[in-house]
Amino acid sequence: MVEGKLANGFEYKIEEDHLDDFEMFENLCAIDRDANNIGLVIDVFVDLLGEDQYKALKEHLRNKKGKISTRAMVEALHEILESDGTDEEVKNS
């Protein structure tokens, strides 16, 4: 289990096998190949975090007007994917 805390304060836990998921990798490659596949980013979030944590992250990022910043969601995903377990904020357990 990998546990982490994003710069925005959101804490998450990811099962190790979710980080080594070839189908998630395929989705990331499809997004990289063609921006029209950007909708797959939702699948990547759910694959990584699971449905409950995905919903919790969205609620964590929801602003006073009820909107969720796309930029903040993408930054969160980038931060999770860039984490290698060696940050102070991230630990393997």
List pLDDT tens digits, range 3-33: 989 999 999 999 888 888 898 889 889 988 9
Instruction: Return the number of other C-beta atoms located less than 10 Å from residue 47's C-beta.
Output: 19
Residue type (1 letter), 31: I
Gap between the Cα atoms of 71 and 30, Å rounded: 20
CB hemisphere CA count around 63 (13 angstroms) = 8
- Say whether pTM exceeds 0.75: yes
